[in-house]
């Protein structure tokens, strides 16, 4: 089937130009709302790549009450919690969302001293447990506090990575020769995901499909660019804020609300409108892609970190760096190919996926342990001389069973984690890059045993996050969270070159 390719400019011709809105205006509006009682957004991130659009915010891979107490004590407007629920089945994902929300509310204490907002951060290509996760968050908040959710705002757009919502339709930008064009995201490889596939790019229809008709398409409120940019003609952000809040007014009982977004100014206009709606008394939850939080809290776009900034406050090791690649999407394989071609001095070590999976589902190959032992020995030896690229074999073992697909992914990820953890405790690398959502989550929480960290900022403009672990065996080692589905073909090589003293 051929893709429906459209010129982005043609789609945008039907709408006003965006209105320039400084980040400070949003931050000021937020500060005014929080003057009496501060509010913190708790971002339940279903894989760690959601942090790539923000800077200088705390991140947790554990969510006990005391972990939230540490995070809230940082005094920041948002806290990220790495739930990794995209790697879990629905029942596990639901239980984890409930536990996170309950513990966050317990740590916050009285709403008279600290108010919490909740953000369900998921994939900009529409993969994940929707509507399950916002449903569970809303039910848990209602059960603990009695507060009912009026609307769930869906904002999957991620312009830095080429994902836009225009006219209530979610698109992916073309690259290379296709630059300037967009394709409906349902016509990309991401829509065919074994666990989270979908058939439509029309967001109202997507909601109806994923909710199995519980939310019919005609019940979805669509904030199109005419509403988001309502103040453009008068150059008045307040007009946009009022138009957005007015459009949200009918929302009740978790009404889905979809927002068009093409630029950072659109995010800021939306933030002002959401703030106005909440001032009027609307209780909202958010289901979003990575940049939403940056816009919502009025954070400036952080310039990409330099090599010096990546190691600021820490003395870099003379060991080689460790690049771990688990994702199988096409762009990851292309990035891996470029890196291996350009970084000729790096040692390349493959984890053979077929050796990790037995013929019968649920059992391990007896040779798997021996294979991993040899892999760890090879990685440690190679780190003494230079950078090491560890990747899973590129043969993607497919299944039509979503549960079996997740089991395979977790088996492979557990092997990657084992290699990273044993390497860390034998010969710590100079830096660690993890490529892929589930891979980077498991490497952070289990491979590097990061419990608390600080998101320092992006390694490339708007994408690819650097975390500084503040405790555990990886303290002081820059950790790079690199989503499988972002970047150009040379992006992985660019990031490696910034961090390496061997490239």
411-437 confidence digits (pLDDT tens):
788 888 999 999 999 999 999 999 987
214-235 confidence digits (pLDDT tens):
999 999 999 999 999 999 999 9
CB neighbour list of residue 5: distance below 8 Å, 6 or more residues apart: 174, 178, 181, 182, 183
Task: Grade residue 353 by pLDDT with cuts at 50, 70 and 90.
Answer: confident
Residue 230 is assigned to a structural domain of this protein: yes
The secondary structure of residue 320, as a DSSP letter, is P
What is the pLDDT averaged over residues 249-272? 98
Instruction: State which H helix or E strand residue 353 sits in.
Output: helix 353-356
Instruction: Kindly report the average pLDDT of the chain as a whole number.
Output: 93
Contact 187, 1 (CB under 8 A): yes
Same domain as 368, residue 286? no
∠ CA 248-143-287 to the nearest 5 degrees?
40
CB neighbour list of residue 144: distance below 8 Å, 6 or more residues apart: 101, 102, 105
In whole angstroms, what is the distance from residue 205 CA to residue 216 CA? 8
Same domain as 468, residue 447? yes
Last residue of a domain, one of 296, 320, 345: 296
Is the pLDDT at 478 greater than 80? The verdict is yes
In whole angstroms, what is the distance from residue 253 CA to residue 326 CA? 39
Task: Grade residue 165 by pLDDT with cuts at 50, 70 and 90.
Answer: very high
The structural domain count of the chain equals 2
CB neighbour list of residue 344: distance below 8 Å, 6 or more residues apart: none
Buried b (16+ CB within 10 A) or exposed e, 380-395: bebbeebbbbbbbeee
pLDDT of residue 358: 54
Q: What are phi and psi of 330, to 5 degrees?
A: -55, -40
Residue 155 is assigned to a structural domain of this protein: yes
Residue 9 is assigned to a structural domain of this protein: no
In whole angstroms, what is the distance from residue 493 CA to residue 484 CA? 14
What is the pLDDT averaged over residues 65-94? 95
CB neighbour list of residue 219: distance below 8 Å, 6 or more residues apart: 255, 256
Same domain as 372, residue 243? no
Q: How many residues does the chain have?
A: 503
Contact 285, 138 (CB under 8 A): yes
Same domain as 398, residue 362? yes
pLDDT of residue 400: 72
Same domain as 411, residue 285? no
Of 3, 8, 43, whose CA–CA distance to 294 is shortest?
A: 43
CB neighbour list of residue 217: distance below 8 Å, 6 or more residues apart: 202, 204, 205, 207, 208
Instruction: State which H helix or E strand residue 467 sits in.
Output: strand 463-469
Task: Grade residue 397 by pLDDT with cuts at 50, 70 and 90.
Answer: low
pLDDT of residue 82: 94
Is the pLDDT at 177 greater than 70? The verdict is yes
340-343 contacts, C-beta under 8 A, 24 or more apart: 340/389, 342/490, 342/493, 343/387, 343/389, 343/493, 343/496, 343/500, 343/503
Same domain as 140, residue 51? yes
∠ CA 296-299-304 to the nearest 5 degrees?
125
What is the pLDDT averaged over residues 262-285? 98
Residue 211 is assigned to a structural domain of this protein: yes
pLDDT of residue 364: 54
Buried b (16+ CB within 10 A) or exposed e, 106-133: ebbeeeeebebbbbbbbbbbbbbbbbbb
Contact 322, 388 (CB under 8 A): yes
Same domain as 364, residue 219? no
pLDDT of residue 371: 87
The secondary structure of residue 447, as a DSSP letter, is I
Same domain as 360, residue 241? no
Return the bridge partners of 223, or none.
259
Of 42, 71, 23, 5, whose CA–CA distance to 298 is shortest?
A: 23
Percent of the chain with pLDDT over 90: 79
Same domain as 357, residue 292? no
Identify the three-state secondary structure at position 349. Answer: strand
Residue 209 is assigned to a structural domain of this protein: yes
Of 419, 394, 375, whose CA–CA distance to 337 is shortest?
A: 394
Q: What are phi and psi of 231, to 5 degrees?
A: -90, 5
Same domain as 271, residue 347? no
Contact 498, 459 (CB under 8 A): yes
Same domain as 382, residue 263? no
Radius of gyration of the chain measured on its C-alpha atoms? 22
Is the pLDDT at 361 greater than 50? The verdict is no
Q: Which domain, by its residues, includes 488?
A: 308-499
Is the pLDDT at 273 greater than 70? The verdict is yes
Same domain as 136, residue 54? yes
Q: What are phi and psi of 19, to 5 degrees?
A: -100, 125
């Amino acid at each position: 089937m051929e893709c429906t390719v459209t010129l982005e400019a043609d789609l945008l011709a039907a709408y006003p130009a965006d209105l320039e809105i400084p980040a400070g205006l949003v931050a000021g509006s937020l500060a005014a709302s929080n003057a009496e009682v501060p509010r913190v957004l708790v971002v339940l991130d279903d894989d760690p790549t959601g942090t790539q659009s923000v800077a200088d915010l705390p991140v947790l891979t554990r969510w006990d009450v005391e972990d939230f107490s540490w995070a809230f004590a940082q005094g920041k407007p948002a806290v990220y919690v790495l739930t990794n629920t995209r790697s879990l089945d629905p029942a596990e994902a639901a239980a984890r969302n409930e536990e996170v929300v309950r513990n966050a509310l317990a740590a916050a204490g009285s709403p008279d001293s600290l108010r919490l907002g909740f953000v369900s951060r998921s994939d900009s290509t529409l993969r994940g447990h929707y509507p399950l996760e916002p449903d569970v968050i809303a039910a848990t908040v209602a059960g603990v506090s009695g507060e009912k959710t009026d609307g769930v705002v869906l904002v999957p757009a991620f312009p830095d990575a080429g994902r836009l919502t225009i006219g209530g339709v979610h698109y992916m930008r073309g690259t290379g020769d296709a630059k300037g064009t967009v394709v409906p995201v349902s016509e990309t490889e991401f829509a065919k995901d074994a666990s989270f596939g979908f058939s439509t790019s029309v967001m109202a229809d997507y909601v109806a499909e994923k909710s199995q008709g519980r939310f019919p398409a005609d019940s979805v409120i669509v904030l199109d660019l005419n509403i988001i940019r309502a103040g453009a003609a008068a150059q008045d952000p307040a007009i946009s804020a009022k138009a957005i809040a007015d459009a949200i007014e009918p929302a009740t009982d978790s009404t889905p609300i979809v927002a068009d977004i093409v630029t950072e100014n659109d995010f800021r206009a939306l933030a002002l409108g959401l703030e106005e709606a909440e001032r009027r008394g609307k209780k909202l939850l958010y289901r979003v892609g990575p940049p939403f939080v940056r816009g919502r809290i009025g954070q400036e776009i952080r310039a990409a970190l330099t090599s010096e900034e990546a190691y600021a406050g820490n003395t870099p090791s003379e060991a080689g760096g460790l690049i771990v690649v688990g994702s199988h999407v096409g762009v990851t394989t292309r990035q891996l190919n470029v890196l291996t071609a350009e970084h000729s001095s790096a040692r390349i070590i493959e984890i053979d996926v077929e050796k990790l999976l037995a013929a019968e589902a649920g059992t391990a190959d007896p040779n798997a342990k021996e294979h991993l032992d040899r892999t760890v020995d090879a990685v440690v030896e190679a780190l003494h001389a230079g950078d090491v690229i560890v990747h899973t074999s590129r043969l993607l073992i497919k299944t039509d069973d979503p549960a079996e697909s997740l089991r395979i992914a977790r088996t492979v990820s557990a092997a990657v984690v084992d290699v990273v953890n044993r390497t860390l405790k034998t010969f710590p690398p100079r830096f660690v890059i993890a490529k892929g959502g589930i891979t980077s989550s498991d490497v952070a929480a289990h491979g590097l045993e990061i419990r608390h960290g600080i998101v320092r900022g992006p390694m490339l403009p708007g994408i690819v996050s650097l975390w500084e672990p503040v405790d555990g065996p990886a303290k002081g080692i820059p950790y790079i969270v690199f989503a499988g589905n972002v970047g150009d073909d040379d992006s992985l090589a660019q990031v490696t070159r910034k961090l390496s003293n061997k490239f």
